Amino acid sequence: MSTSEGTYGRGAAVLSVGIGVTGLVTFGYFALASHSLTEAQYGHITLLWSAVFITVSVLYRPVEQLLSRTIADRDARGVTGREHLRVAATIQLALAVLFAIVALALREPIEDELLGGSSALYAILIVAVLAYAASYFARGFLAGHHRFGLYGGLVLMEASSRFMFALAVAVSIAEGQTAVALGIAAAPIVSLAVVPWALGRRLRAQGPVDTDALDAAARDEPSAKGDTQFTLARGSGFAVAVLLIMLSEQTFLNAGPLLVKANEGARGAALAGFAFNVLLIARAPLQLFQAVQTSILPHLTRLRASGETDPFRRSVNLTLVAIAAFAGGVALVMLAIGPWLMDLVFGGNFDYERGGLVLVSIGMGLYLAAATLNQALLAHGRAPHAAAAWVVCAIAFALFLLLADFDDRVLQVEIAFLGAAACLCALLHSLYRRA
């Protein structure tokens, strides 16, 4: 194994631990909140959480990915300067301002229909989403520089500080829905305490753009100059492509339950919850897979920039093999004890079909494989091509749910997820082979 592959493996391992612990702490936050609040109050906390994290995932992860890829590429080529940070900050600020304008314009429906008329929850939503702009900028910076320990510390500090607000209510130091919700806004602000010294030290070490290095790179490799001259147009193009990918990802993960609810009338809410539980087989591994996504993009970008094609392919193939083994294991568990396990975890009056659980398990493996191939394409600078594949598959997924007429709506969601994941994986694999 090469040194770079070892670095990728260690980075993924460190982040897996950090994100895994973060997931447990987040579970604790909701467990304490559910015991401390009424059902209606807790319901509004979950709606606030969903609104915040869907918004920040779509708006801010593109800049995180942009920074991660660009910093890794520039470091591998020996290019200095800060213009890439200014471009990324400009894009992130523009997205934050856009959110603020839309949220202010839609205050009445957000506050009254989503958040139960609570002006406090509405204010927390605004502050939280704006604060995450800085948090995701820091994540991209740390990932690009392979500072995975600090990255893991940032997300763990975020979850821990949020948990403390729920704990304060649980032990009667504070009380009420607003006190619990404040943790959602405070978390991204508090988490930034772990990174200022790292950001400052790195920036002080950087000087002006090394034009000799740019010229040398351009002479040695015709495409290198285009990669090192980072402009707002170039950065915005990448960010828009990744934003489309994030929107498509949310379609895959959320459109199924939402459309089930819309199509099933009075029993739609219950069936939507049932479909949501089934898709958690795909959602839960995605949380842990964030560690792989975060570490593999700068790793692959460095390998591509340095011309190491064999390690690049080995890293992608190793990740795909690990995903196949994991998904196969999950499918076997679902085949053997899936219905019993889902009843144990979620309860309720629904019957979980063994075959449907296996379908979602296979779809989960294909989806994670597609996400890996997506990172490889981003490292190759093929973001627009990857985005086109995601958008096509997301549209096909939604149309199948809207137009197909199944008596069993949950089975329809399971088949749609598997089919869309398979098509997405095939399209991205074709693009990857050509890249």
306, 34 in Cβ contact below 8 A? no
Give mean pLDDT, residues 296-311. 84
The residue with tokens 């979620």 is 346
Q: Confidence class of residue 122 from pLDDT cuts 50, 70 and 90?
A: very high
DSSP characters for 96-121?
HHHHHHHHHHTHHHIIIIISTT-HHH
pLDDT at 210: 46
> What does the pLDDT look like over 32-87, one tens digit per residue?
887 887 877 887 887 888 889 889 989 999 999 999 999 988 888 877 777 888 88
102/258: higher pLDDT: 102
DSSP structure class, residue 38: -
Per-residue CA distances from 392 to 245, 383, 395, 434 (Å): 10, 14, 5, 19
pLDDT tens-digit readout, 12-25: 666 767 777 777 78
> 415 by DSSP, 3-state: which?
helix
Q: For 111-115, what is the mean pLDDT?
A: 84
Listed range (85-94, 259-268, 392-401) with the worst mean pLDDT: 259-268
What three-state secondary structure class fits 173?
coil
* Contact criterion met (CB below 8 Å) for 84 and 63: no
Q: How far apart are CA 18 and CA 157, in angstroms?
A: 10
Q: What are phi and psi of 196, to 5 degrees?
A: -60, -40
- CA–CA separation, 430 and 424 (whole Å): 10
Q: Among all chains, which residue has been given the structure tokens 């040398």? A: 216
pLDDT class of 7 with cuts at 50, 70, 90: low
Is 295 within 8 Å of 11 (Cβ atoms)? Answer: yes
Token duo for residue 62: 């593109």
Q: Output the CA torsion sign for 379, 383, 389, 393.
A: positive
| pLDDT score, position 148 | 82
CB 143 within 8 A of CB 294: yes
| Dihedrals phi, psi of 117, to nearest 5 degrees | 80, 10
The pLDDT score that the predictor gives to residue 4 is 56
Q: What is the structure's pLDDT at 373?
A: 95
Q: Taking residues 381-399, what's their average pLDDT?
A: 94
Average pLDDT across the chain, whole number:
82
Binned at pLDDT 50, 70 and 90, residue 229 comes out as: low
Q: Which of 402, 399, 356, 367 is nearest to 260 (CA)?
A: 402
Residue 286 has pLDDT above 80, yes or no: no
Mean pLDDT, range 2-19, rounded to an integer:
63
In the structure, what pLDDT confidence band is assigned to residue 220 with cuts at 50, 70 and 90?
very low
pLDDT above 60: residue 279: yes
Q: What is the pLDDT of residue 342?
A: 80
Buried/exposed code over 146-164 (b: 16+ C-beta within 10 A; e: otherwise) = bbbbbbbbbbbbbbbbbbe
Rounded CA-CA distance 326/367 in Å is: 12
Using a pLDDT cut of 70, give the percent of the chain over it. 82
Nearest alpha carbon to residue 297 among 253, 238, 248: 238
Q: How far is CA 398 from CA 112, 176, 264, 318, 404, in A?
A: 28, 39, 16, 32, 10
Q: Per residue in 148-204, pLDDT tens?
A: 888 888 888 888 999 999 999 888 898 888 999 999 999 999 888 866 655 555 555
Q: What residues contact residue 56 under an 8 Å CB cut-off, 6+ apart?
A: 129, 132, 136
What's the pLDDT band for 386 if we cut at 50, 70, 90? very high
pLDDT at residue 112 tops 80: yes
**Range 277-301 average pLDDT:** 77
- Residue 299 CB contacts under 8 Å (≥ 6 apart), including other chains: 4, 7, 8, 11, 72, 146, 315
pLDDT value of position 268: 57
CA distances to 60, 92, 376, 428 from 310, rounded to whole Å, are 32, 35, 13, 19
pLDDT, mean of residues 276-287: 72
Contacts of 206 (CB under 8 A, 6+ apart): 80, 81, 82
Is residue 386 within 8 Å of 431, Cβ to Cβ?
A: yes
Query: What percentage of the chain carries pLDDT values higher than 90?
Result: 34
Which pLDDT score, from 0 to 100, does residue 216 have?
45
Instruction: Kindly state the tokens that stand for 159.
Output: 């979850």
Q: Is 125 left (phi over 0), alpha (psi -120 to 50) or beta?
A: alpha
Distance of CA 214 to the CA centre of its chain: 33
Q: How far is CA 44 from the centre of its chain?
A: 23
Highest mean pLDDT among 233-247, 263-277, 301-315, 412-426: 412-426
Whether the full predicted model's pTM is greater than 0.85, yes or no, is no
Report CA-CA distances (Å) from 97 to 64, 94, 166, 173, 396: 17, 5, 30, 35, 32
pLDDT at residue 266, rounded to an integer: 53
* For range 323-348, the mean pLDDT: 84
pLDDT of residue 201: 55
